């Protein structure tokens, strides 16, 4: 029997059961919901970024025009160093509609100016309905990593074990011609049934989404990771089918594996990472900053009493505030660094421990390709803080009266708008690929031996 005929016969048999239809309906519904959620989300990210950059440009133009036209009052000229701002904007993550990841938690824009500090730079961006956030988001990554494996398990828990239970294995094998042909036909049909809605959803997102750099290549990589994940799960399904157990036990074992790797391990690993690397208390950070603000200001003003009046007093105030800001920042720097160090520690624990949960590796790979993983946001925060330091150093010269603010001086303060990184194959993916290959190989060897039973 040719492979095509075998595929056709198996498909007909598969669709005779309502299960395959149910799987298709669930898969398609989830994929459709993921498209709706993903599209709306990336459009919002693009719109927010554009509005922020437009607003920043308008403010900069107004300041610049005033400077060029010479319409600024003397007082405004003195205060100019405190009013120059530069935008810092993260590029919209390439596939934020595929994998929302941490893009709904992290800041994506910031305004750089001399009076801002690293501990207060990202503020007032957190406008989210906490109860909605608690329910989670239904993106395509969730469909691929969480829902699709369950659909594969439903389709495959009895794919060979059921034949053995019913005593029809020998007959079906005789029809198929060889164990390999039977295994391939059943695998291809079931994998396609689950993968097709995902691929279709990905195509719709690509076709309707914004025109971002590297989006096509990122989507190809993303789908490849999805395919590896599904192949891994199907390999496990085959492997369990190759054990000499009934369909019910096979189903129970597969569901247990799914629950443990998708639910239990991730929850336990994430919670353990937080317990091992607890970030310093945010509340302590807030009150430390306030105490430092007060202490440094009082001390500075005691040591440098201002005697000037009028514009000179204003100039002195600008310089004083700048110096005080730098001192406060210096006092708080260890706390800010400790925060990032603890978060990096959490990421390290998660990236090592997630080896016991291949779905975690796959979810991390999806987020990484999409540009919505925790590490990408850590890099963005780090870059933004470096840009803030550079801006403060530059504009600080004017605050201290060492430079006069003119157009050239203003232009030398650069915005921070890094380019989207080129997507790369995530390093950790070697593990699921290896596991998938091993599961398929062992399953194939075992099934070849036991199928005639």
Cα–Cα distances (Å) from 382 to 105, 132, 336, 337, 416, in that order, read 17, 29, 11, 10, 11
Residues 154 to 173 in contact with another protein, rule: CB under 8 A: 154, 157-158
Is residue 324 at the binding interface for another protein, with CB under 8 A as the rule? Answer: no
Cα–Cα distances (Å) from 40 to 15, 35, 44, 235, 349, in that order, read 34, 8, 6, 35, 33
39/175 with CB nearer another protein: 39
Minimum CB–partner distance for residue 331 and another protein (Å): 14
Residues 54 to 73 in contact with another protein, rule: CB under 8 A: 55
The structure tokens 């540009």 sit at 371
Return the percent helix, strand and coil in the chain, to nearest 5.
75, 0, 25
Per-residue mark of binding to another protein, 3-42 (x: CB under 8 A): ----------------x--x---x---x--x--xx--x--
Is residue 294 at the binding interface for another protein, with CB under 8 A as the rule? Answer: yes
- What whole-number distance in Å separates Cα of residue 199 and Cα of residue 392? 48
Per-residue mark of binding to another protein, 330-359 (x: CB under 8 A): ---------x---xx-xx--x---x--x-x
Q: Are 376 and 90 in contact (CB under 8 A)?
A: no
125/425 with CB nearer another protein: 125
Is residue 286 at the binding interface for another protein, with CB under 8 A as the rule? Answer: yes
30/398 with CB nearer another protein: 30
Is residue 92 at the binding interface for another protein, with CB under 8 A as the rule? Answer: no
Minimum CB–partner distance for residue 262 and another protein (Å): 7
Is residue 369 at the binding interface for another protein, with CB under 8 A as the rule? Answer: no
Per-residue mark of binding to another protein, 102-121 (x: CB under 8 A): ---xx---------------
**Tally of CB atoms within 10 A around 427:** 10
- What whole-number distance in Å separates Cα of residue 388 and Cα of residue 119? 12
DSSP state of 106: S
Residues 251 to 280 in contact with another protein, rule: CB under 8 A: 251-253, 255-256, 259-260, 262-264, 266-275, 278-279
Structure tokens at 330: 């210096």
* Packed helices 18-69 and 148-156: angle between N→C axes, nearest 10 degrees: 170
146/442 with CB nearer another protein: 146
Answer left, alpha or beta for residue 101, where phi above 0 means left and psi between -120 and 50 means alpha. left
Local structure of 325: helix, strand or coil: helix
Local structure of 416: helix, strand or coil: strand
Q: How far is CA 371 from the centre of its chain?
A: 6
129/305 with CB nearer another protein: 129
Q: How far is CA 293 from the centre of its chain?
A: 35
Structure tokens at 157: 């828990």
Is residue 380 at the binding interface for another protein, with CB under 8 A as the rule? Answer: no
Minimum CB–partner distance for residue 126 and another protein (Å): 6
Beta-bridge mates of residue 88: 110, 416
Minimum CB–partner distance for residue 411 and another protein (Å): 25
Is residue 124 at the binding interface for another protein, with CB under 8 A as the rule? Answer: yes
Is residue 87 at the binding interface for another protein, with CB under 8 A as the rule? Answer: no
Is residue 306 at the binding interface for another protein, with CB under 8 A as the rule? Answer: no
33/420 with CB nearer another protein: 33
Q: By CB under 8 A, name the one of 281, 299, 389, 393 that touches another protein.
A: 281
Structure tokens at 271: 């919670």
Q: By CB under 8 A, name the one of 2, 135, 307, 408 that touches another protein.
A: 135
Residues 195 to 254 in contact with another protein, rule: CB under 8 A: 246-249, 251-253
82/249 with CB nearer another protein: 249
Burial of 288 (0-12, 13-18, 19+ CB in 10 A): middle
């Amino acid at each position: 029997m040719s492979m095509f005929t075998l595929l056709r016969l198996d498909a007909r048999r598969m669709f005779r059961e309502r299960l395959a239809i149910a799987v298709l309906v669930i898969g398609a519904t989830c994929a459709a919901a993921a498209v709706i959620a993903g599209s709306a989300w990336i459009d919002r990210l693009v719109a927010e970024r554009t509005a922020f950059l437009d607003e920043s440009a308008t403010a900069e133009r107004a300041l610049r025009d005033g400077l060029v036209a010479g319409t600024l009052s003397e007082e405004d000229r003195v205060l100019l160093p405190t009013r120059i701002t530069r935008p810092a904007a993260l590029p919209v993550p390439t596939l934020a509609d595929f994998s929302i990841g941490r893009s709904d938690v992290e800041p994506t824009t910031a305004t750089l100016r001399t009076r801002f500090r690293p501990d207060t730079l990202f503020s007032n961006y957190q406008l989210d309905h906490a109860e909605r956030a608690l329910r989670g988001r239904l993106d395509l990554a969730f469909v691929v990593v969480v829902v699709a494996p369950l659909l594969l398990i439903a389709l495959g828990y009895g794919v060979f074990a059921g034949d053995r239970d019913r005593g029809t294995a020998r007959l079906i094998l005789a029809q198929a011609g060889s164990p390999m042909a039977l295994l391939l036909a059943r695998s291809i049909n079931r994998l396609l049934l689950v993968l097709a809605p995902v691929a279709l959803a990905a195509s719709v997102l690509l076709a309707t989404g914004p025109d971002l750099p590297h989006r096509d290549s990122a989507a190809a990589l993303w789908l490849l990771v999805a395919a590896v994940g599904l192949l891994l799960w199907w390999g496990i399904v085959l492997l369990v089918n190759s054990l000499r157990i009934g369909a019910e036990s096979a189903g129970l074992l597969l569901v247990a594996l799914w629950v443990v790797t998708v639910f239990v391990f991730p929850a336990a690993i994430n919670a353990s990472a937080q317990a091992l690397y607890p970030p310093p208390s945010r509340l302590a950070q807030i009150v430390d900053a306030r105490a430092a603000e007060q202490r440094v200001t009082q001390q500075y003003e005691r040591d440098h009493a201002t005697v000037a009046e009028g514009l000179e007093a204003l100039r002195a105030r600008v310089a004083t505030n700048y110096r005080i800001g730098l001192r406060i920042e210096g006092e708080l720097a260890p706390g800010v660094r400790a925060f990032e160090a603890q978060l990096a520690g959490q990421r390290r624990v998660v990236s090592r421990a997630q080896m016991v949960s291949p779905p975690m590796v796959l979810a991390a790979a999806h987020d990484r390709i999409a540009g919505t993983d925790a590490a990408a946001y850590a890099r963005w925060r780090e870059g933004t803080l470096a840009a803030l330091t550079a801006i403060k150093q530059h504009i600080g010269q004017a605050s201290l009266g060492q430079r006069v603010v003119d157009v050239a001086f203003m232009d030398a303060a650069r915005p921070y708008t890094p380019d989207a990184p080129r997507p790369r194959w995530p390093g950790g993916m070697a593990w699921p690929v290896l596991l998938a290959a091993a599961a398929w190989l062992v399953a194939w060897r075992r099934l070849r031996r036991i199928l005639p039973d």
